[in-house]
A and B are shown apart, each in its own frame.
Chain A
Amino acid sequence: MYGQGLVKGLSITLKHFFGRAVTEQYPEQKPVLSPRFHGMLALDAVRCNACGTCANWCPNGVIQIESVRDANKKRVLTGYALDMQYCLFCGLCVESCPQNALSWTQDFELACYHREDTLHKLYQAEVSQVEAASGSE
């Protein structure tokens, strides 16, 4: 019969008219992200042994690690920085970390006004700590 499709279409739009909007009003209303969301990286500096695996795996050379050798010739982390302007959030660093020291956070608001601000220092040891770790006499 003529007009059947018409009525069907009209009923669908009417249903949506009274349905809920899916719009997320972002700045006021934060999105609910999946637990596996790739946001900013977080470093557990206590676990990290500065092996440098993450920096080696990183395809874009985002990760900059500074370390010193302590009295037992063991590597100690003194600085950990991410040049986020090059990061593609692939997650190879997190996957590769043997100590599970790297993890993802839900923080996705990484926009900034200056290029220098894209450099995120996740860990920076104090000068005294560095000296103590390097076992300077």
Chain B
Amino acid sequence: MENLFVNLEASLNRFLTATLPGSLPNLAMALASVVVILLFVLTNVVWLVYMERKVAAYMQDRLGPNRVGPRGLLQTVADVLKLLGKEDIVPVAADKWVFKIAAVTVLIPTIMLFAVIPFGNNLISIDLNIGVFYFVAISSTATISFLMAGWASNNKYSLLGGMRVVAQMIAYEIPLVFSLLGVVMLAGSLKMSDIVAAQKDVWFIVLQPVAFLIYFIAGTAELNRGPFDLPEAEQELIAGPFTEYSGFRYAMFFLAEYGNMVAISALAVTLFLGGPSGPWLPSWMWFVIKVYVMIFLFMWLKWTLPRIRLDHMMQFNWKFLLPLSLANILLTGIAIKLF
């Protein structure tokens, strides 16, 4: 069980090298990992939409979706089919090309993030020696798609939402990155596999609890999830940058949103929760369990707290999180020097 996917990969590789000539097997293997990552993201998103509605319902003493399929499990499928049947509207006043491209580009960084995530022991697509840096760099490019969508819609709600996304994501990226630095200093490497290996004895959440908290808060803000869901504040901005989108373009934003949630949770698992390691169960199963614990935390927070005010959000970031993360780096450095 432990090496299920590793063995699958090895046998696929053997099959491809036997059948395909030249460097084609390498290309095919790269494509295969892209397909696997896509499948992983898509199945998780389908499940997460259902899970979010169920969690919200349970926290509000409701039952949630329970009509389509057993226990409402096919609800997301029904929703996707409905979205497929919707008219694809591009507003007359919109900047058509940017409007259309934004819906595609929003998903690209999400998929790219999973390239450096260790899904299990030896289950990592590309073990870059700057893995953490790659993750941070790619995740920050997601901002531009939101701004593109907000600007191209030519709608005041979209634009305001887009501006808020940029302000929020860029601001919270700083404490997010600084919180990761503590872990990187302890592990002495930006390579994901090294960081996981460094947590063999004790998870970094024990050594870096403040960094984990900062990461969790900043991650919530990066995901534009409640209580930091100002960019798509329904009551004021309808749906923020997604206001003018319909049908499958809208679904793409949804997909990216939940895909990002999986990615941020996966990074938290890798950096703070010991990565894909644990007793008895296979490592990839531990990875999924830990990721879902993180996702439940995100959902729990969203369905507990009301939306934070814009100026409070900014103040909290610049006046509290940023100094705190800097102090954390300083203390970590001193501690490393001392022990």
Contact = CB atoms under 8 A, between A and B. Distances in A.
A14 B301 CA distance: 10
B201 interface: no
Contact of A16 (B60, B63, B66): B60
Interface string A1-20: 00000100110111011111
A21 B72 CA distance: 16
B304 A21 contact: no
Contact of B62 (A9, A10, A18, A23): A23
Interface residues of A, number: 15
Interface string A27-59: 000000000000000000000000000000000
Given A21-B63, A23-B63, A25-B63, A10 B304 contact: yes
A23 B305 CA distance: 23
A14 B61 contact: no
A22 interface: yes
Give the size category of B's interface with A: 10 to 19
If over half of A's interface residues share one DSSP class (helix, strand or loop), that class is named, otherwise mixed; here it is helix
15 contacts: A12-B304, A13-B59, A13-B300, A13-B303, A16-B58, A16-B60, A17-B55, A17-B300, A18-B58, A19-B61, A20-B61, A21-B58, A22-B62, A23-B61, A25-B63
Given A16-B60, A17-B55, A19-B61, 19 more contacts: A9-B304, A10-B300, A10-B301, A10-B304, A12-B304, A13-B304, A14-B300, A16-B58, A16-B59, A17-B58, A17-B300, A18-B58, A21-B57, A21-B58, A21-B61, A21-B63, A22-B61, A23-B61, A25-B63
Interface of A: 6, 9-10, 12-14, 16-23, 25
Interface of B: 55, 57-63, 66, 300-301, 303-305
